[in-house]
Structure 1
Amino acid sequence: MKTANYGIAIPMANEEEGFASFIESLKDALDNVPGGKVYLVVDRASTDSTPDLCSQLAQDDSRFVYVWAPENRNVVDAYLRGFKEAFHAGHDYIVEMDGGGSHNPAALPAFIRALQEGNQCAFGSRYINGGSLNDSPLKRRVLSKFGSFLARVLLGCPMRDVTSGYEAFTRPIMGKILSYSLRSKAHFYQTELRYLLRKSDWVEVPIHYVSPSPRVSQNAIKNSLQCLFYYTFRRWSGKKDIIR
């Protein structure tokens, strides 16, 4: 695959246990798609050795950048900080990936290829042909599928999977995302982006999603419902919330 100028934003919180295997997989993906740089965003949510592991990796491999962000209040702040680092570094494409092992770095070439083919956004999907949702707790399966169903019905969001956090954007679209005031603070963030970008040139990329954390806080669910009903009310009131 030809060289691409891209950055990957990855929040890293308490990833000590699976760190080595994830990074090895990520290095393989970077070798397959030359030109990438990884922004490892770490904040006070980490209570294990993750900060030290990320800092040492950045010293050993120039493709990795350690980003210490103690000001982060939630995971959305962590993603946005990674986006800002990649955007200000001048990358043509910016990828969002989870650092806990649920997103397989081997899918990276498909995301970069989708953008090189002219799409503005590439969204990871577990619910299209070629995608799958493996080893996930029942609670996460229900929340994911029901969330996607609600978004399609209430928001008119056309994607099959609106809750996956594996996605990629062109630089112009990322600039518009960063200038938009997002409302979500937790899991709904993925759905919010897809809703706002529904009129852009997008494509869904099949992904294999493995073993996410079974924990979803009540505050995260509450925030998701608040954001869902906010955008639903605005849509039914004729408001056009769009990034394109």
Structure 2
Amino acid sequence: MAEQLEPVLVVIPTYNERDNIERIVSRLRAALPKAHALIVDDGSPDGTGEIADRLSAESDGHVHVMHRTEKNGLGAAYVAGFQWGLERDYAVLVEMDADGSHSPEDLPRMLDALADADLAIGSRYVPGGKVVNWPKHRYMLSWGANTYARIALGARVKDMTAGFRAYRREALQKIRIDNVASRGYCFQIDLGWRTIEAGFTVVEVPITFTEREHGVSKMSSDVIREALIRVTKWGLRRRGTQLKSLFSR
């Protein structure tokens, strides 16, 4: 990894991940010993925050913890973590789930891809990428959501909903993350689309996505509804802009 792309901050949102957080932080430290982690805990009642504090105390300054008082959505947790990292001059900011579905061992390849890009997405749907242990309905839901987002927005990215990403700080600074309203997994589409619209270079790096072994998925009907409504609005706005440009010639 090029020297100018350090230091790296990996933002890990948590809510009731006591069975996973220690394992994923250990794997991250092994895969990227120089990287820092920021655990953003949304007041987990299962004691995740206390485990995070212990990991921080034992980490010689490489693990940090942000305690938030309520569960306010994945998007809000990432925005808070990104803002924390930007204020401390991290060169690269990474999104990674706490449940083990994202392999920290894939991060070196994603960071290497930033040599020629502003956003590297750990993708399930490019050649070499795959999903392990997902029930068929979850796969079809994800595939359908990505297909719809790609068509509605005219994007070439295969995995718009991917939650494993590495951003150069310059991209996050320009796309104004402070006014992101998306709360659930739609946040991924939102930031990806903003990055594309701002003219930044996006690359997809194949990864293996593994369904969590412990805990409960945060996917819900409200999350799906939010994504459908917002993507439809963004797509219609894009079509409107295209038509306006066409008729103004």
Q: Which amino acid aligns with 2:17?
A: E
Q: Given the superposition, is the C-alpha separation of residues 91 and 149 from structure 1 closer, same or farther in structure 2, using an over 3 Å criterion?
A: same
Q: Structure 1's 215 and 12: CA in aligned 2 closer, same or farther, altered over 3 A?
A: closer
Greater mean deviation of Cα atoms: 77-86 or 130-139: 130-139
Shift of the 20–39 alpha-carbon distance from structure 1 to 2, 3 Å rule, reads closer
Aligned counterpart, 1:237: 240
Cα distance in 2 between the residues matched to 1:124 and 1:111: 7
2:94 maps to what in 1? 95
- Structure 2 CA distance, aligned partners of 1:51 and 1:180? 25
**Residue correspondence of structure 1 range 111-130 to structure 2 within 5 A:** 111-115=110-114, 117-130=115-128
The answer as to 2:229 corresponding to 1:226 is yes
Q: What is the percentage of aligned positions where both structures have the same residue?
A: 28
User: How many pairs align?
Assistant: 235
Per the alignment, residue 27 of structure 2 pairs with 25
Alignment gaps of 5+ in structure 2: 243-249
Q: Is the 8 A contact 1:163 1:191 kept in 2?
A: yes
Q: CA deviation at 1:7?
A: 0.8
How far is the alpha carbon of 1:71 from its aligned partner? 5.4
> Given the two structures, how large is their TM-score scaled by the length of structure 1?
0.90
Match of 1:138 in 2: 136
The equivalences for 1:30-45 within 5 A come to: 30-31=32-33, 34=34, 36-44=35-43
The 5 Å alignment of 1:1-244 reads 4-31=6-33, 34=34, 36-44=35-43, 46-61=44-59, 62-70=61-69, 73-115=72-114, 117-179=115-177, 181-198=179-196, 199-212=199-212, 213-214=216-217, 216-238=219-241
Instruction: Return the alpha-carbon distance in structure 2 between the equivalents of residues 200 and 57 of structure 1.
Output: 35
2: CA distance between counterparts of 1:208 and 1:145? 15
Q: CA RMSD in A?
A: 1.9
Structure 1 residue ranges, 4+ long, deviating more than 3 angstroms after superposition: 177-180, 212-215
- Counterparts of 1:112 and 1:59, CA distance in 2: 27
CA distance in 2, matches of 1:195, 1:179: 12
Question: Which deviates more from structure 2 when the two are superposed, residues 172-181 or residues 150-159?
Answer: 172-181
Q: Any idea what the Cα deviations from partners look like across 1:46-104, whole Å, max 9, x if unmatched?
A: 12120000011111101000111225521111111111111111011111111111100
Q: 1:137–1:57: structure 2 CA closer, same or farther, 3 Å change rule?
A: same
Q: 1-side partners of 2:83 and 2:70: how far apart?
A: 14
Secondary structure at the residue paired with 2:32?
A: helix
SS in 2 for 1:238: helix
C-alpha contact (below 8 Å) 1:126/1:133 kept by paired residues: yes
Normalising by structure 2, we get a TM-score of 0.88
Change (3 A) 1:142 1:112: same
Residue 8 of structure 1 contacts residue 37 of structure 1 at CA under 8 Å; is this kept in 2? Answer: yes
1:12-64 Cα deviation digits (max 9, x unpaired): 11111123322221111122xx3x211100112x1212000001111110100
Name which one, 1 or 2, has greater alpha-carbon Rg.
Answer: 2
